[in-house]
Amino acid sequence: MASAQANLFEPPAHLRAILDDFEKADQDARRIAGGLTDAQGNWQPRETAWSVAQCLDHMARGNTLYAAALHQALNETGAERVPAHGPIQPGWFGRYFIRTLDAPPNRKMQAPKKIVPASQIAIREALQAFLRSQEDMRGVIRDGAGFDLNRIRFRNPFVGFLRFTVGTGLLIIAAHNRRHLWQAQRVLECPGFPKN
């Protein structure tokens, strides 16, 4: 029943673009991880670099925590359900934050402890966890479509004093996905990547 309702949901154009970005991330993750053995999925170009499975696991953990924080903000809002009057408009710091997370990365960042990936994980398990976390993010869009997502703020689950709008949070996750899918693709292209 829930999937039938999800299929009937027609979001405004600004949220449709984010859903399209999430769909592209799903497709890219399936293309990158599909057909890999666990050994290939867990292969690291060097000791400090992540494997494909670790990239997927990291995104899944981050998306899950972000989705919970975004849902909490939507559930706690006292705002009336008033649709947005236009696209999501991050503030200057939100735009900066999104740029720092987007692909290709312009600098290496330390992952928060809560979302450091497992050292070894079955590639299919990592892929499925990522795809489930993407559904959590789509749920935020469905549940928030009746609100002005430029007005409702949430507490960043990794840096508690940071508060972004729910709309900015959706753009942050889309950029974070692009960054780590780009990284996972680079792993496949490394000269030492095991072909069989």
pLDDT tens per residue across span 30-65:
999 999 999 999 999 999 999 999 999 999 999 999
Count other Cβ atoms within 10 Å, centred on residue 132: 12
| Residue 28 structure tokens | 């890219």
Place of tokens 């990158």: 32
- For residues 176 and 58, the answer to whether their CB atoms sit within 8 Å is no
**pTM metric for this prediction:** 0.90
Which residues are paired to 154 by β-bridges? Answer: 164
- For residues 11 and 143, the answer to whether their CB atoms sit within 8 Å is no
pLDDT < 50 regions, the chain: 1-4
What does the pLDDT read at residue 102?
Answer: 86
What does the pLDDT read at residue 1?
Answer: 43
H or E element, residue 193 = none
Spatial separation of the C-alpha atoms in residues 192 and 196, rounded to whole Å: 12
What SS3 class is residue 151?
Answer: coil
